[in-house]
Amino acid sequence: MKSLRILIICLLLFQMSPVTAASSSPQPGYTIKTTYLYGRAMQSSPILKTLRTNVPVRYTTYNRSWSNVYIGSAKYFTPTANLKAGIPKMPTADRLRLVNKTYGLPSTYRSPQLVTLTVPTVYQKGSERTLMTAEAAYALAKLYYAGRKQGHTLYALSAYRSYSTQKSLYTYWVNTRGVSYASKYVARPGHSEHQTGLAVDMTSQRMKLGLYESFDQSPEGKWMIQNAHLYGFIVRYPKGKEKITGYNYEPWHLRYVGVNEATMMKQKNWAFEEWWIKR
Ligand SMILES: [Zn+2]
């Protein structure tokens, strides 16, 4: 174990190059009225697409009166007056949804509010792993920039995980290692908290952009664990709560619940399951 750790540290020292640079400006926002998307910053240019009301989009300011809107890899122009900086709030029941080995999500559950993260991600933007609900993505951006101010650069490794991805993962492990191994290490389809769009696995360059328990000893991990609640996140699988959560300690797995709830769980030292019973 000790030699493995030394090996990992050595690898860290030699591999300090970032995978993606910190993305600068696109923020998740939402439209407040029907928005026309143009190919150029001119009302007279043809309308290429029409956005429905309250659809979360990423956008940046183009000039005084126009903004760029990003849909997948395409970039459009729209009058800034049609965009409202803001985050669609999630229904409370969705924000506080308990997903674990007992309670699962329907195969069809996919939040309509998924947006691409604006923080640095290990996977290319466009991968489903870089999606979270707009409210959680915005909170994660705030956490990220607060960390940066203290000199800590965090990366998002894996956020949203669809039902079909969970199903293929689970099937793969059942076929290669058998049911008992699979059920120990991989969530049954519909039982991964990542399907909520509120969970994200965090890492850093010091962790070689991977997931290791020693993250909690690194400056970035220490800072994140200490401050996550200020932005509405809990460390979902804490040390010492393995029997309650059903999962081993995962210092890297954050779950968005909202600032008040996260602060309460932090202060009382409750796992999410305990909060549901004792609050
Ligand atoms: Zn996770």
Q: Specify the CATH number for the domain of residue 78.
A: 2.30.30.40
By three-state DSSP, how is residue 37 classified?
A: strand
Establish if 42 belongs to a structural domain: yes
Alpha carbons 163 and 188: distance in angstroms, whole number: 10
User: Which positions are catalytic?
Assistant: 250
Q: pLDDT grade, residue 9 (50/70/90)?
A: very low
Burial of 114 (0-12, 13-18, 19+ CB in 10 A): buried
Instruction: Tell how far the Cα of 277 is from the centroid of ligand 1, in angstroms.
Output: 23
Quick one: pLDDT at residue 73?
83
**3-class secondary structure, 3:** helix
What is this structure's pTM?
0.76
Compute, in angstroms, the gap from residue 200 CA to the centroid of ligand 1: 6
pLDDT category at 40 given cuts 50, 70, 90 is very high
Q: Give residue 82 CA to ligand 1 midpoint distance, Å.
A: 36
Residue numbers of the domain that contains 48 = 27-84
Tens-place pLDDT, residues 172-211: 999 999 998 887 778 899 999 999 999 999 999 999 999 9
User: Looking at the structure, do residues 79 and 93 belong to the same domain, yes or no?
Assistant: no
* Residue reference for tokens 């999962």: 247
Lowest mean pLDDT among 19-28, 119-128, 266-275: 19-28
The CATH number that applies at residue 248 is 3.30.1380.10
70 and 54 in one domain? Answer: yes
Domain count of the fold of the chain: 2
Flag whether pLDDT at 109 surpasses 60: yes
Residue 208 CA, ligand 1 centroid: distance in Å: 17
Q: Is 157 a domain residue?
A: yes
Asked if 102 and 44 sit in the same domain, the reply is no
The predicted structure's pLDDT at residue 116: 86
Closest CA to 116 of 171, 197, 38, 192: 197
**65 is a domain residue:** yes
Instruction: Render pLDDT for 222-275 as a digit per residue (tens, 0 to 9).
Output: 999 999 999 999 999 999 999 999 999 999 999 999 999 999 999 999 999 999
Q: How far apart are CA 123 and CA 155, in angstroms?
A: 10
> Are 113 and 219 in a shared domain?
yes
Domain end marker among 38, 53, 84:
84
Q: Are residues 274 and 215 in the same domain?
A: yes
Mean pLDDT (whole number) for 142-156: 96
**Mean predicted lDDT score pLDDT of the chain:** 87
83 or 20, which is more confident: 83
C-alpha 237 – ligand 1 centre gap (Å): 9
18 belongs to a structural domain: no
Domain match, 129 and 168 both: yes
Query: Do residues 121 and 239 both lie within one domain?
Result: yes
Among residues 38, 59, 84, which one ends one of the domains?
84
112 and 239 assigned to the same domain: yes
Give the Å distance between the CA of 235 and the centre of ligand 1. 10
Query: Does 202 fall in a domain?
Result: yes
Question: What is the CA(54)–ligand 1 centre distance, in A?
Answer: 29
Domain boundary among 84, 101, 124: 84
Query: Would you say 199 and 236 are in contact if contact means Cβ atoms under 8 Å apart?
Result: yes
- Note the pLDDT of residue 11: 40
Q: What percent of the chain has pLDDT over 70?
A: 87
Is pLDDT at 3 greater than 60 in this prediction? no
| Residue 138 half-sphere exposure toward CB, CA atoms < 13 A | 20
Same domain as 183, residue 94: yes
In a domain, 3, yes or no: no
